[in-house]
Amino acid sequence: MKKLSLLLTCLFLSFSASAEKLDIKFALKYGMIKEKGLSVQEKFQLVKDLGYDGIEVNAPSGNREQLKAASEATGLPIHGVVCSTHWKLQLSDPSPEIRAKGLEGFKQAIKDAKFYGASSVLLVPGKVRKGTSFQECWDRSIAEIKKALPLAKELGINILLENVWNDFLTRPEDTLKYINELEAERVGSYFDIGNTVRYNPPASWPPVLGNKIMKLDVKPYLLQPEGGNVWKGFKAKIGQDSNDWPAVCKALKEINYSGWATAEVGGGDKKRLKEILTNMRKVFSH
């Protein structure tokens, strides 16, 4: 009888854990708003009226005063910024001059995040390419990021590394090792769920990274037939993809993830933005 009671208790706890929904705040990237004829403030108001919890902007940018004013006027928070210089001025570039300019842009992004009241900067740390091996990308970018850590700590801004198609940090194990080498509490993962489908199952990341996953980028990816154009996979809609959302949600629940999930997909008008939010809510309801 005791064994039966214990079994039933375990089953109940298991069911409760699986039934409990993730505590998610939904956002989108500012550049996705394509509704015509709107001011910056009207764009923010549209996003808020649709039901989004926040927004993410590029930084540095030329309209930060307008963006901050729009956020304050509408009450829609800018929860994070995306470093706008990390592709053009890579922190892993062979040129010390380019790396220095990239670091300058990255530091300004950290300052802008503070200006907006955001909590993080999304950073692509580098790219493996001609003239930059995997190890060189690792060493150069680590060295540059370390130079920005005192500023991030002073301003209370998290540096979150996004996994992208850069032939670098495409495995959760490498990502964890990289984060740990920086030895800073304010460095974590900006886990892009769709970007990893081509390399490994998204659900394999949370068990490895645990609480190092601080924010999520929501992107669909549909695996393509062998020999097909791999970039076409990003044309899928959220939920009509190869992401395996039930497994992703289960893995996120097991690390007690809660926080931001930001859409990074093709934007559009009011109708399209509403569709994106509806699809996000659906996939995170598992």
DSSP string, 178-237: HHHHHT-TTEEEEEETTTTTTTS-GGGSHHHHGGGEEEEEE----PPPTTS-GGGGGGSP
In a domain, 4, yes or no: no
Structural domains in the chain (count): 1
Q: Residue 13: is its pLDDT beyond 80?
A: no
Spatial contact of 221 and 235, defined as CB atoms under 8 Å apart? no
Is 13 within the bounds of a domain? no
Q: Is residue 9 part of a domain?
A: no
Residue 8 lies in a domain: no
pLDDT above 90: residue 12: no
- Comparing 148 with 226, the larger pLDDT belongs to 148
Domain CATH number, residue 259: 3.20.20.150
> Can you give the pLDDT at residue 154?
98
Closest by CA position to 34, among listed 219, 282, 239, 274: 274
Whether residue 10 has pLDDT greater than 60: no
Q: Is residue 179 part of a domain?
A: yes
What does pLDDT average to over the chain? 95
Range of the domain at 235: 23-283
pLDDT band, very low/low/confident/very high, at 245 (cuts 50, 70, 90): very high
Residues 255-276 have a mean pLDDT of: 99
Q: Among residues 46, 20, 25, 47, which one has the least CA distance to residue 280?
A: 25
**Residue at 12 is within a domain:** no
**Region 209-216: what's the mean pLDDT?**
99
- CA–CA distance, 4 with 106 (Å, rounded to integer): 58
**What is the reported pLDDT for 227?**
84
Q: Rounded distance, CA 62 to CA 52, Å?
A: 24
Section 234-242 average pLDDT? 97
pLDDT at 139 over 80: yes
Residue-level pLDDT at 15: 46
For the stretch 246-256, pLDDT in tens is 999 999 999 99
Domain annotation covers residue 135: yes
pLDDT score at 26: 99
Q: Is the pLDDT confidence value at 162 over 80?
A: yes
pTM of the model: 0.92
Q: What is the mean pLDDT of residues 91-104?
A: 99
Residue 100 has pLDDT above 60, yes or no: yes
In a domain, 245, yes or no: yes
16-74: pLDDT as tens digits: 445 589 999 999 999 999 999 999 999 999 999 999 999 999 999 999 999 999 999 99
* pLDDT for residue 45: 99
Q: What percent of the chain has pLDDT over 70?
A: 93
Q: Is 15 exposed, middle or buried (0-12, 13-18, 19+ CB in 10 A)?
A: exposed
Give the pLDDT confidence score for residue 20 in this predicted structure.
84
